[in-house]
Amino acid sequence: MKTEEIIKKNRERIFREMVNERWYPLKGSDPKDIEVIEFYPQEVSGNEPFILKLRSVETGMMINLLLNVRDDAKDETEDSIKSGKVLIMIKKLLEDGRTSEIKFNGNRDEILQNLGSYHAFNGNQSNSSFIINRKVIGKFFRTSSDVENPDYIIPLNLWKHTDFRNTPEPLGMITLRDKECVMTFSRFMENEGDYWSYLNRIPEDENFINIVMESARNIASVTAKMHYSLSTVSVEGFEAEPFNLKDIQSLGNSYKAYEEMVIELCKTREAQSNLFHEVYNGIPVLSKAGEEFEKLMTDHFLKQRIHGDFHLGQILKTESGPQIIDFEGEPMRSIGEKSSKQSTMKDLAGLIRSFDYLCRGRMSKPGKTSKIIENIVISAYLNEMIKLNPDFRETKDLFISVLKAFILEKAMYETIYESRNRPEWIHIPLGFIYSFINEEEE
């Protein structure tokens, strides 16, 4: 059966259903703006899946679909991740080897011998994940991803070149034309969910804060181990290197842009609440904190590969300790940006802000507790880093000073995001900024 004919017959319905999917990245856009670019393979048999690549004419964004003809409807397509027919594609590729366009790299036998029961995730993800036989977890990438996809390459290098094991073992990936990663496989680990979900399930009683503090210590320690391990990987594209003037200017410009947006937001809403008023009056404190980035130019700091989108939702709670997942970086960033070397403080700031969201979202008087958790995270991270690299002790105070700027930048970004998308949550990042201003002015 020719794939092109299947697509022509189902085009309108495919596009109509696609825009309603949670993973669809162009919400609010006109489906008529989407065009078919290519598809693989050119012919399919029965309900064998095929990859359909689309492009937004307006934005240029590439979108990947995995479709197959349904069993109960002649020539009518369905999503292969939802239907589970993706297993047909995986089995055929692993048994027969590569096609002219599609290739598997990795532990072929490990995946083949574990093909069995199937479960697709229904969560709010930018890509589509599924579990095979509770042994293997797969991920189909909904937007174009280079073969150097950090979500696979970073864990692979951690497992190949370091002793770090707090991330699921990568088992393989499927590439398209040797240029694009469309699917990855990792070893599935039994877990209690990510830490954001886990900690939000715990009742707010006398044990809650103790569990949060212990989680903060464990996660911060593992985070330091991850950063140290990544700094030791010496393969191309991973070597740590000094910051340059362009890096500092980029950080400063980004910080200033968010600061200006927060100023405008607080200025226009100053009359609505005292919180906006107080933050607006404290802007000089924020401006001064942004100058800390210049200290990255000293010999104490190097830029390196990091997680890139680090928060409690990216860390699984398992019997073997915190397991870090989803190294693909911020969803709307390009592969080049996701693979760039940055300060480890970006990850740490994301973790601290995630704990602040947890505290301010769960407690009636969260400010003091949030600060305690922040100090625990920083202390545990620094202590572990000093164990791994005793020379880091000399950098400790400078590290804490610069970290403030990264935390504030994240909080300002969150303030703008919440004002546009979840206004009922804006008090969380804005409340943190207000607390920071008060601390610095004391």
Return d(Cα 223, Cα 310) in angstroms, integer. Answer: 10
CATH of 195-441, one of 3.40.50.10860, 3.20.20.70, 3.90.1200.10, 3.40.30.10: 3.90.1200.10
Residue 124 pLDDT: 65
* Residue 194: per-residue pLDDT: 97
How would you class 441 by CB atoms within 10 Å of its CB: exposed for 0-12, middle for 13-18, buried for 19 or more?
Answer: exposed
For residues 411 and 431, what is the distance between their CA atoms, to the nearest angstrom?
Answer: 9
pLDDT tier at 332, thresholds 50, 70, 90: low
The average pLDDT across 399-424 equals 96
Contacts (Cβ under 8 Å, ≥6 apart) of 340: none
Residue 4's alpha-carbon distances to 8, 39, 40, 45, 53, in angstroms, are 6, 8, 10, 13, 12
Specify the range with the lowest mean pLDDT, choosing from 161-165, 174-178, 346-350. Answer: 174-178
pLDDT score for 174:
95
Exposure pattern of 343-370 as b/e (b: 16+ CB <10 Å)?
bbbbbbbbbbbbbbbbbbebeeebbebb
What is the pLDDT, as a whole number, of residue 146? 75
Q: What is the pLDDT of residue 255?
A: 97
Write out the H or E segment, with its range, that includes residue 34. Answer: strand 34-40
Query: Average pLDDT of the chain?
Result: 93
Q: How confident is the model at residue 116 (pLDDT cuts 50, 70, 90)?
A: very high
Give the separation between CA 256 and CA 13, rounded to whole angstroms: 45
Please work out, in degrees rounded to the nearest 5, the angle formed at the alpha carbon of residue 223 by the alpha carbons of 221 and 229.
105
List pLDDT tens digits, range 11-47: 999 998 998 898 888 877 777 789 999 999 999 999 9
Task: Tell me the mean pLDDT in the region 200-228.
Answer: 95
Q: Where are the domains of the chain?
A: 3-187, 195-441
Give 122's pLDDT tier (boundaries 50, 70, 90). confident
Please state the pTM of the whole predicted model: 0.94
Question: Count of CB atoms within 10 A of residue 269's CB?
Answer: 17
pLDDT (average), residues 59-63: 89
More confident residue, 273 or 125: 273
Q: Is 338's pLDDT higher than 70?
A: yes
The model's confidence at residue 339, banded by pLDDT at 50, 70 and 90, is: confident
Sequence letter at residue 296: L
Dump pLDDT digits (tens) for 221-259.
999 999 999 999 999 999 999 999 999 999 999 999 999
